[in-house]
Amino acid sequence: MPVTRKAVARRAAVSEATVSYVVNNGPRPVAPETRARVLQAIEELGYHPSDVARSLRKQRTSTIGLIVPDTANPFYGEIARIIENVGYANGYTVILCNSNLDAEREASYVNLLRTRRVEGAVIIPTTAESVAALRAAEICTIVLEYEIEGAYCLVADDYEGGRLVTRYLLDLGHRRIACITRAGDKTSSQKRVEGYRDVLRAAGVALETDLILETEPEIAAGEAAAFRLLEHAEPPTAIFAHNDTMAIGVMSALRKRGLRVPEDVSVVGFDDIVQAAYVNPSLTTVAHPKQRMGEQAAYLLIDLLRGQHVPLPYTAVLDVSLIERESSGPPPAAARHRKA
């Protein structure tokens, strides 16, 4: 059992309130010598005030929930670190919740956050219902990577990202551009595909639905999807993956099939995770403003928790940019020939 405030009060021969005033440096002054006595008693007894009791009393937990699919994925791991960092700097503790892309588990975590009385939450949702549930629980929530009506949303400019990549690949001369997207009704993924489609259409390139694959946002799934694409009668000369993790899987598949990147097939990812610059070949990708997104999310949340009013609807669309590295180049001569 930890030492309680009562013990400190007795030892310092003061009232319990005085102990509080010393511990909290207020809200009312304490005579220097009384304070010294109290501090000494605290020291001697090893007193550490209970945040549990404090939370109950103040009706504030200084806690936020963080729901992400899976911290083992470097992208989410980075987001987690950023949110935790800003939280830490502002006195908020973070409860970690991995949804594992499982709606049921996510729902259960929303419930937990409610009973824990967290003050706010940051979520990369698996399903929009979780956001609704969070709202129903009156938990101030920031949604990342997903646009949802009536919620504070921060997204990368996914549509523009999709356009950038596609136009870039078209300019290089590619015509058969595959797209591996994320399964589920995630709007971030949909937007990227939309950008891709619109640019192709505008360029008069026929859309081939076989070249659009949907799968989990993981490295093995990326590899598997690439294998499937290569079985196509006329395989793509470029592959645009939903994220860098999948793109790395794609490059692995190409290598296993004896294809060179970018000479035979170009690969472009999304997110610019730390690893993207170091893999071989280094990965052309869309720079995702995760740092800014994470920080802005955390700051916005903290502002809201401090009572600042931020009107809804709120959707911040953060700029993206193409980072050209080694994994992309012109299509092989044969393909260029065919096109002409």
* Binding footprint of DNA on the chain (CB under 7 A): 1-2, 4-6, 13-18, 20-21, 23-24, 27-31, 33-35, 49-50, 52-54, 56-59
Q: Which is nearer to DNA, 13 or 334 (CB)?
A: 13
By a kind-dependent CB cut-off of 5 to 8 A, residue 73 interacts, out of a copy of itself, DNA, none, with: a copy of itself
Instruction: Enumerate helices (H) and strands (E) in the chain, giving the number of each.
Output: 13, 12
Phi and psi at residue 144, in whole multiples of 5°? -110, 145
Largest pairwise CA distance in the chain: 93
Query: Is 49 a binder of a copy of itself (CB under 8 A)?
Result: yes
Query: Is 279 a binder of a copy of itself (CB under 8 A)?
Result: yes
Q: How far apart are CA 132 and CA 129, in angstroms?
A: 5
Query: Is 70 a binder of a copy of itself (CB under 8 A)?
Result: yes
Q: Which is nearer to a copy of itself, 66 or 213 (CB)?
A: 66
Q: Which residues contact 136 (CB under 8 A, 6 or more apart)?
A: none
Residue 196 CB, nearest distance to a copy of itself (Å)? Answer: 24
Query: Is 260 a binder of a copy of itself (CB under 8 A)?
Result: no
By a kind-dependent CB cut-off of 5 to 8 A, residue 66 interacts, out of DNA, a copy of itself, none, with: a copy of itself
Q: Which is nearer to DNA, 39 or 259 (CB)?
A: 39
Query: Is 243 a binder of a copy of itself (CB under 8 A)?
Result: no
Do residues 126 and 189 lie in contact, with contact meaning Cβ atoms separated by under 8 Å?
Answer: no
Do residues 146 and 67 lie in contact, with contact meaning Cβ atoms separated by under 8 Å?
Answer: no
Residue 10 CB, nearest distance to DNA (Å)? Answer: 10
User: Which pair of tokens denotes residue 86?
Assistant: 């800003």
Q: Which is nearer to DNA, 2 or 313 (CB)?
A: 2
Q: Which is nearer to DNA, 13 or 203 (CB)?
A: 13
Out of 25, 31, 32, 59, the residue judged to bind a copy of itself by CB under 8 A: 59
CA distances (Å), origin 212, targets 70, 231, 242: 25, 14, 11
SS3 for 252?
helix
Name the DSSP letter for residue 179: E
Closest C-alpha to 142, from 91, 90, 180, 87: 87
Residue 98 CB, nearest distance to a copy of itself (Å)? Answer: 5
Q: How far apart are CA 241 and CA 220, in angstroms?
A: 13
Residue 87 CB, nearest distance to DNA (Å)? Answer: 20
Q: How far apart are CA 194 and CA 188, in angstroms?
A: 10
- Beta strand 120-123 with 285-287 is unpaired
- Residue ranges binding a copy of itself (CB under 8 A): 1-2, 46, 48-53, 55-56, 59, 61, 66, 70-74, 76-78, 80-81, 84-85, 88, 93-98, 100, 105, 109, 111-112, 114-117, 136-138, 219, 223, 248-249, 251-252, 255, 274-275, 277-282
